[in-house]
Each structure stands twice: as C-alpha cells, then as structure tokens.
C-alpha cells in the first residue's frame, strides 16, 4: 500500500513540475505584445520608451505610462522614477527592467521618507538596519562624513553620486 502511495506522489510531482516548467501559454514571459522583448526574455527599454513616449520628449510621464498594456509601468511609476522628477528616462527604465540583484537606486529624499521611522529627516543605524538597507549598513561610517551618527540628504547624495560615477568609469573601460 505504501508503495502505491509513494509512486502516486512521485508521479503527481513530475506532472506538476513538467506543467510549471513550460511557462505561460505562447512561450512568453507575460511581457508586452508585439516582439518587444529581446531573445532571452528581457524587455528592451529603448523600445518600450519609444512606444510609450507619445510626445517624443525622450521620457515617459504618468499619462504616457498608462499606455503600458500590462499596467506595470504606471503601477510602479514612483519606484521606477528614482530621481523623483515626475518622468521615467531611459536609464531609470533600464534599471527597472534589469535582472540585477539588490535594491534599485532611489533618490535620497525618497529613501529618507521610506526609512526614517522617527521623523527627524535623517537616518540612524537602527533605522537603516531595521529596513534592511544593506548597502547603507555596510557603508554607514563612510557615508556619515560629519560623524554625527546620522545620514542626511546631502551625505546620501554624495554617496550615490560617487557610486554612479564609479559605475560610469567601469563601463567606459
């Protein structure tokens, strides 16, 4: 009797694994229709930008974002718009579509707004650790240039700008 139960369980698991491994109908990953993904499944940010940028100003505003058939860009607009300028540019779109692990870069103001539990406009080590901001935890002392044990907007701007500059230099090489 146990033999039949074991065999039935294994058979059921194989069927489930086979069905789920096939992915959604049509072989796509649920992205936008019309060939807007490169081979390998990652969407092409420049194609998406050109499709949604109806006024040809090289950015996507909230109204244009509503044209995303999946609704994902409109839904995640504030997270994708990391510099809080009310527009999504190509670089922000590429970052949001990338498969990179780790947190997406966001503006220091937005970061403080989301992480500052005591409402003092700065971040202390406990707040940063509690919100699992690993990059800030690991670099806290280096970012805190005035040694007040708090991270303010200016310190975060300097940190993120130097980080962005080093990434640009790496890409050029």
pLDDT of residue 67: 81
pLDDT at 103 over 60: no
Question: Around Cβ 65, how many Cβ atoms within 10 Å?
Answer: 20
Q: How far is CA 155 from CA 120, 126, 127, in A?
A: 15, 17, 16
pLDDT at 18 over 80: no
Name the residue with tokens 């998406």: 48
pLDDT of residue 31: 44
The helix-helix angle for 108-115 and 153-172 (nearest 10°) equals 130
Q: For residue 4, name the pLDDT band (cuts at 50, 70, 90).
A: confident
Among 10-19, 73-82, 138-147, 156-165, top mean pLDDT goes to 138-147
Name the residue with tokens 């806290």: 140
Task: Tell me what the pLDDT averaged over the chain comes to.
Answer: 78
Higher pLDDT, 76 or 167: 76
Sorted by where each starts, the structural domains of the chain and their CATH numbers stand as: 38-97 (1.10.238.10), 108-172 (1.10.238)
pLDDT at 107 over 90: no
pLDDT at 34 over 80: no
Tens digit of pLDDT for each residue in 36-60? 444 455 568 888 888 889 999 999 9
Contact 98, 167 (CB under 8 A): no
Question: Around Cβ 24, how many Cβ atoms within 10 Å?
Answer: 8
Q: Can you tell me the distance from the alpha carbon of 51 to that of 44, in angstroms, rounded to the nearest whole number?
A: 11
Q: Which of 66, 45, 42 is nearest to 54 (CA)?
A: 66
Q: What is the DSSP string of 80-119?
A: H-TT-SS-B-HHHHHHHH----SPPP--HHHHHHHH-SS-
Q: Which of 157, 137, 155 is nearest to 147 (CA)?
A: 155
């Amino acid at each position: 009797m146990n033999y039949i139960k074991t065999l039935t369980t294994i058979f059921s698991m194989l069927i489930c694994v086979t069905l789920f491994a096939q992915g959604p109908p049509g072989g796509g990953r649920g992205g936008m229709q019309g060939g807007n993904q490169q081979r390998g499944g990652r969407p092409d940010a420049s194609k998406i930008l050109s499709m949604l940028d109806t006024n040809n100003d090289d950015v996507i505003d909230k109204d244009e974002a509503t044209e995303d058939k999946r609704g994902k860009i409109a839904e995640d607009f504030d997270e994708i718009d990391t510099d809080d300028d009310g527009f999504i540019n190509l670089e922000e779109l590429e970052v949001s579509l990338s498969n990179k692990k780790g947190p997406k870069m966001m503006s220091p103001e937005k970061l403080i707004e989301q992480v500052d539990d005591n409402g003092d406009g700065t971040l202390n080590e406990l707040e940063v650790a509690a919100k699992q901001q690993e990059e800030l935890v690991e670099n806290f002392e280096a970012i805190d240039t005035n040694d007040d044990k708090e991270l303010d907007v200016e310190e975060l701007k300097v940190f993120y700008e130097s980080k962005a500059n080093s990434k640009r230099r790496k890409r050029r090489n």
